[in-house]
Amino acid sequence: MSQSLSPEYLTSLGQQFGTPLYVYHAEKIKEQYEKLTTAFRNSNTVFFYACKALTNVNVLKYVCSLGANVDCSSINEVKLALYAGFPKERVLYTSNGIGFDEIAEAVSLGVIINIDSLSNLEKFGQKYGGTYPVGVRLRPNIMAGGNLKISTGHDKSKFGIPVDQVEKILALVDSYNLDIADLHIHTGSEIKDVDVFVKGIEILFELIPQFRSLRFIDLGGGFKVPYKDGDAQTDIQLLADKVNAAFANHPNPGGRPLQVWFEPGKFLVSECGYFITKVNVLKETDAATFASVDSGFNHLIRPMFYDAYHRIENISNPNGAPRRYSVVGNICETDTFAWDRTINEVREGDYLVFYNAGAYGFEMSSNFNSRYKPAEVLIKDGQAHLIRRRDVFEDLLRNQVEL
Ligand SMILES: *Cc1c(COP(=O)(O)O)cnc(C)c1O
């Protein structure tokens, strides 16, 4: 059965904790994780939670307790993951464009590292040679994902070392006796077509025989989840079947079995999240009826940044007559969450909830307009726990140096 929180319960949370409020439902994360492990149960596959989607330390601890590994995109995420209790063997740092000092720090912390430039790979070789295993992030030059902003594997993307430069990687492997443990590709987000992953594997199969110490193949993240009714999603069982078939048809070099890694972010935490806001003002105009909520792109930027669609429901008036609204925020920028959206009649003071708010919601929030970041609540075992207090005025002055 699919886990979800009812409008009545969300309303009570809005009343108890105030708005704007992020709410995460732990058991939904578990449900998603189990979809993955169930689909891949007959293969040697490991899942690394791409934690940049949501890094609250309580979420990290929960994901750790499920048995997942973790993928980090900065040295601070690495430190948060270790702090949350992930053992270093389960922490992967997939870097891009970082200074070598962060790579050296990751080595000293003992975590798994993917390097995404020839320059850092060479520095790595000079410093560590073959004494510390390392992965290489490749750019497969394939287009995938929802749109250009979230596609990372195409031939103009900054991410990874282009596969056409593999000779240069191999030259570094030779020069420094590098122990290349994994090859990594991550082609983007919201990939509904599982054949994109298969295409990535096929590109890797041509390279695999040239990397003699390879143990792992890392296929990245980007599984799509539905944002609205009828939305496509990645068919995880089909993905598992195709990945298994692809590996069955390509015997591993030297007969050594390769373990497959994935790095799901959005898939694990998108649907667990709800963002509850309150309607401050209703404004009737010729063009639209605006419902202004106590938030903006300072709290949830995906609609403005990616044109992302988030389902919005009036949980205070579920039986109200449907009407059309432009849902906007309260900051001094155009911050439209939804243009001309049908919602049950909205009154000032009503709670509007945004669904799929777990991934890249709070995580991309800011203090723009000197507004407070929202509070976060985790629902676990039927209990609501405050896991981040709302900012207070002192937080706005914190770190400022007064002259
Ligand atoms: C962001 C990211 C992911 C996760 O992407 P989702 O779309 O959230 O699944 C995985 N791997 C890497 C390297 C990333 O940068």
35 in a structural domain: no
Q: Which residues are catalytic?
A: 332
Do 251 and 388 lie in one domain? The reply is: no
**Of the residues 36, 73, 112, which should be mutated to test ligand 1's pocket, given the most ligand atoms within 8 Å of the CB?**
73
Do 50 and 168 lie in one domain? The reply is: yes
Do 350 and 225 lie in one domain? The reply is: no
- Residues 164-209: tens digit of each pLDDT: 999 999 999 999 999 999 999 988 777 888 888 888 888 888 899 8
The per-residue pLDDT for 188 is 76
Tell whether ligand 1 has an atom less than 6 A from the beta carbon of residue 220.
Answer: yes
- Give me the torsion for CA of 273, 274, 275, 277, rounded to 10°: -170
Of 241, 268, 295, at which residue does a domain stop?
268
379 in a structural domain: yes
Do 362 and 224 lie in one domain? The reply is: no
Residue with tokens 């390769």: 258
149 in a structural domain: yes
CATH for 319 = 2.40.37.10
Question: Cα(51) to centroid of ligand 1, in Å?
Answer: 8
Q: What is the band of 402 on the pLDDT scale with cuts at 50, 70, 90?
A: very high
- Residues 357-375: tens digit of each pLDDT: 999 999 999 999 999 999 9
- Residues 54-68: tens digit of each pLDDT: 999 999 999 999 999
Tell whether ligand 1 has an atom less than 6 A from the beta carbon of residue 73.
Answer: yes
Tell whether ligand 1 has an atom less than 6 A from the beta carbon of residue 302.
Answer: no
Weakest-pLDDT range from 142-156, 177-191, 235-249, 274-288: 142-156
319 in a structural domain: yes
Whole-number Å distance between alpha carbons of 257 and 44: 9
Question: Cα(267) to centroid of ligand 1, in Å?
Answer: 10
DSSP 134-188: EEEEEE-----SSSGGGB-SSTT-SSSEEGGGHHHHHHHHHHHT--EEEEE---B
Q: Beta strands of 301-390 (E only): which ranges?
A: 312-314, 322-328, 336-344, 351-354, 375-380, 383-388
The per-residue pLDDT for 395 is 98
Do 259 and 384 lie in one domain? The reply is: no
Question: Cα(179) to centroid of ligand 1, in Å?
Answer: 25
| Residue ranges making up the domain that contains 141 | 40-268
CATH for 129 = 3.20.20.10
26 in a structural domain: no
Those residues with Cβ within 8 angstroms of residue 300's Cβ, 6 or more apart along the chain or in another chain: 275, 310, 337, 354, 357, 361, 364, 365
The per-residue pLDDT for 1 is 53
Of 245, 268, 291, at which residue does a domain stop?
268
Weakest-pLDDT range from 18-22, 173-177, 218-222, 311-315: 218-222
- Residues 124-149: tens digit of each pLDDT: 999 999 999 999 999 988 766 656 66
Do 106 and 210 lie in one domain? The reply is: yes
Tell whether ligand 1 has an atom less than 6 A from the beta carbon of residue 261.
Answer: no
Weakest-pLDDT range from 19-23, 121-125, 206-210: 206-210
- Mean pLDDT (the chain) is 94
- Nearest atom in ligand 1 to the alpha carbon of residue 150 is 7
Tell whether ligand 1 has an atom less than 6 A from the beta carbon of residue 150.
Answer: no
Q: Number of folded domains in the chain?
A: 2
Helix (H) or strand (E) holding 282: strand 273-284
The per-residue pLDDT for 149 is 67
